[in-house]
Structure formats: structure tokens, C-alpha cells
């Protein structure tokens, strides 16, 4: 309704008449002296990330690049998952070596996704300080519904995707949003509520189990 629009904008103009006409938005000073980046080595960041993700009661494993397929198969078996959905561009090296049917998401219905055992994705960035995994629908992640409906989310994070804090993470994500309007989901642990006497209870909606594999950048890295 153009009349509502004009009226509201008019009210705003009148309400801010104390602001000089010559002042531009950027003239209002914003001091950004908060930390822009974490001073830490790659290994320290990965270790912090693993700790913080585990704090939310998600399970974390460090995996060498060469062993990914085997570990994926193992964790799926431990979980009892035999049918997993994955984005169509899931790398071959990440496909479970045995025992699990991986169904590529070619526009599965919500009901089909609801009935599946779990989902395997990569991520866009991992935030060490907060133990957060971020998906933005980019490579190896797929659309939002596939990591929302299944009860089990197995997420692979490359070690060099881990950054220190929120400012660094936002810098990684911003281009995808500006240029392609990518939808972004920040995930910090499995779904939870604290609405009942502030008891943090896992699993209302969204995957109740989040399992994270941190994939070493260097196959010679001695992560366990």
C-alpha cells in the first residue's frame, strides 16, 4: 500500500528532524574495536571447535582424509542408519564405504525426508569460539529441508573451514548472500529447549542427534 508506506516514511522524517539534513548514515561513528580475528594456530582452532561442539552434546570425531569413507560407514552403523540422504554433489570420498544407501536429494518430498534415517552434508564454515557449524546451501550442503527433517545430521567439516569467531565467519558468508541470496543456517548443537524449568532438553524439532567429523587438511596429520 503506497499510502501506508508514504505515511510511515513521513512520520519517520518528522520524528528525526533533530538529525541535520547534511548528516549521512555513515557519518554516525561506529567504533569497531572488538576482536576481528582470533590469534591462534589452525590446530588450536580445530581443537577449540571440537571442544565447543562437544559442549552442546554433539559427538565429534577427528578423521584423516583417507579414512573418511570408512568412518562415515562406522558411525552410520553405530547409529543404526541404513538410508541417508545427501546433496547431489556429495564428494565420492565422503560416501560411506559400506552398509549405507545414500540417496541423492533430487527434490525428495518432505514426507520422504521425514522417513529417512539421516542426512550427510558438508558445511560453509565452522566457528571455533561458539562451536557453530554454518550451512549456506553452497557446495556439498544441499537445500535446507534435507538437514532439517531427518533426526540425525552427520556433518563433515574440513579443518581449514574452521575460523576463530563470528566476525571471521560472517566475512566468509557475506559474498554468498550478497551475490546469490544464499539462505544461511547457523547450527550450534542439536535442537534444544529450556522452556521447562530452564532444563536444557535436547530435541524438540530439528535433528536430535548431531555428529561432526572434522576432516584433517593434511593426510599426514596425526589426529586420532
Give, as ranges, the residues between 37 and 96 that touch another protein (CB under 8 A). 52, 56
Q: Of 184 and 215, which CB lies nearer to another protein in the complex structure?
A: 184
CB-nearer residue toward another protein: 123 or 169: 169
Contacts of 86 (CB under 8 A, 6+ apart): 95, 102, 103, 104, 105, 119, 120, 121, 142, 146
Q: Between residues 9 and 104, which has the closer beta carbon with respect to another protein?
A: 9
Beta partners for residue 62, in sequence order: 214
Residues numbered 9-28 forming contacts with another protein, rule: CB under 8 A: 9, 11-16, 18-19, 23-26, 28
Alpha helices in 16-119 (DSSP H): 42-55, 68-79, 110-114
Question: What is the total count of residues that contact another protein (CB under 8 A)?
Answer: 76
The least CB distance from residue 105 to another protein, in Å, is 10
65 vs 143, beta carbon nearer another protein: 143
Which residue, 56 or 94, has its beta carbon nearer to another protein? 56
Residues β-bridged to residue 61: 213
Point out which span in 65-73, 107-115, 117-125, 211-219 binds another protein (CB under 8 A): 107-115
Cell of 58: 554433539
Pick the binder of another protein from 1, 21, 39, 41 (CB under 8 A): 1
**Are the CB atoms for 63 and 75 separated by under 8 Å?**
no
Residues facing 121 on adjacent strands: 155
Q: Nearest-CA neighbor of 57 among 222, 220, 215, 211?
A: 211
- Considering only residues 194 through 213, tell me which ones interact with another protein, judged by CB under 8 A: 194-199, 201, 203-206
Written as nine digits, the cell of 101 is 544407501
Per-residue x/- marks for another protein, 141-180, CB under 8 A?
--xxx--x----------------xxx-xxx-xx--xx--
Q: Is 188 near another protein (CB under 8 A)?
A: yes
Task: Give, in degrees to the nearest 5, the angle at Cα 84 between 57 and 176.
Answer: 75
Name the residue nearer to another protein (CB basis): 92 or 196: 196
Distance CA 140, CA 94 (A): 10
Q: Per CB under 8 A, does 221 bind another protein?
A: no
Amino acid at each position: 500500500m503506497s499510502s501506508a508506506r508514504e505515511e510511515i516514511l513521513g512520520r519517520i522524517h518528522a520524528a528525526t528532524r533533530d538529525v541535520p539534513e547534511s548528516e549521512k548514515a555513515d557519518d554516525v561513528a561506529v567504533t569497531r574495536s572488538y576482536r576481528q580475528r582470533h590469534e591462534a594456530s589452525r590446530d588450536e582452532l580445530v581443537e577449540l571447535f571440537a571442544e565447543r561442539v562437544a559442549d552442546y552434546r554433539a559427538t565429534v570425531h577427528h578423521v584423516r582424509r583417507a579414512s573418511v569413507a570408512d568412518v562415515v560407514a562406522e558411525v552410520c552403523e553405530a547409529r543404526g542408519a541404513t538410508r541417508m540422504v545427501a546433496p547431489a554433489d556429495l564428494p565420492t570420498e565422503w560416501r560411506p564405504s559400506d552398509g549405507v544407501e545414500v540417496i541423492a536429494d533430487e527434490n525428495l518430498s518432505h514426507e520422504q525426508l521425514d522417513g529417512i534415517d539421516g542426512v550427510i552434508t558438508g558445511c560453509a564454515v565452522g566457528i571455533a569460539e561458539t562451536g557453530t557449524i554454518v550451512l549456506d546451501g553452497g557446495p556439498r550442503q544441499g537445500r535446507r529441508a534435507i538437514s532439517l527433517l531427518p533426526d540425525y545430521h552427520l556433518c563433515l567439516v574440513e579443518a581449514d573451514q574452521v575460523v576463530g569467531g563470528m566476525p571471521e565467519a560472517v566475512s566468509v558468508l557475506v559474498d554468498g548472500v550478497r551475490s546469490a541470496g544464499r539462505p544461511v543456517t547457523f547450527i550450534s548443537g542439536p535442537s534444544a529447549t529450556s522452556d521447562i524449568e530452564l532444563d536444557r532438553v535436547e530435541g524438540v524439532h530439528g535433528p536430535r542427534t548431531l555428529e561432526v567429523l572434522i576432516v584433517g587438511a593434511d593426510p599426514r596429520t596425526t589426529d586420532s
